[in-house]
A and B are shown apart, each in its own frame.
Chain A
Amino acid sequence: SQQGEEDPQALSIQEGENATMNCSYKTSINNLQWYRQNSGRGLVHLILIRSNEREKHSGRLRVTLDTSKKSSSLLITASRAADTASYFCATAGGTSYGKLTFGQGTILTVHP
């Protein structure tokens, strides 16, 4: 069963703007991960945040986690046309990096 719900389903912005994607989940988690998928390709891991962390940064990415609300957000700052892709959140329950449950994804389009 799908754990995550992502919002918005699609997001269209101009280069240089920030993009924010949200993910909600239903059950308790060990960690939450964000992945990126370019059209017709496999997924690429972006960042992982553990259940005891509230915020994490990696380059232009900022992830927040609110376990009381069972939600996370991914912020991409100063977006580029190359950021155009689908972005998925995935939650892990038992083991830290094992079986994941994916959300439906957000399609991000960045216009040059």
Chain B
Amino acid sequence: DGGITQSPKYLFRKEGQNVTLSCEQNLNHDAMYWYRQDPGQGLRLIYYSQIVNDFQKGDIAEGYSVSREKKESFPLTVTSAQKNPTAFYLCASCPTVGPQHFGDGTRLSIL
């Protein structure tokens, strides 16, 4: 089945640690997105990439980094500079013409 796979489903971060969230898609979509969702809130855009080897900051990029070395993959690193990383992280992809398709998210918590 075509879709977006996010892993892990749950992740715990220790103080001062960087953690990487995985997002893989087999939909052959050019664009990919990372969102952060806090309880009872909407989605806020962290980073997005419209083509391989290129990405742009979204509204809340500070403390996060990404790479886009392959069309299928768009990993997100939550760095130690992100002081409040506890949230639900959602990855999405989008064709040139069409709606966004979402993974089932990674829930990140602080140990």
Chain A interfacial positions (CB closer than 8 Å to B) = 1-2, 4, 33, 40-45, 48, 88, 90, 96-105
Contacts and interface: CB of A to CB of B under 8 A. Distances in A.
B90 A2 contact: no
Is chain A's binding surface mostly helix, strand, loop or mixed? Answer: loop
Given A97-B94, A97-B97, A98-B50, A103 B42 contact: yes
A43 B92 CA distance: 9
Contact of A42 (B31, B58, B90, B99): B90
Nearest to B58: A99
A4 B99 contact: no
Contacts of A40: 104-105, 107
A42 B97 contact: no
B61 interface: no
Contacts of A105: 40-42
A23 to B, nearest CB: 11
A45 B59 contact: no
B82 interface: no
A41 B42 contact: no
Given A97-B94, A98-B31, A102-B43, A45 B105 contact: no
A58 to B, nearest CB: 12
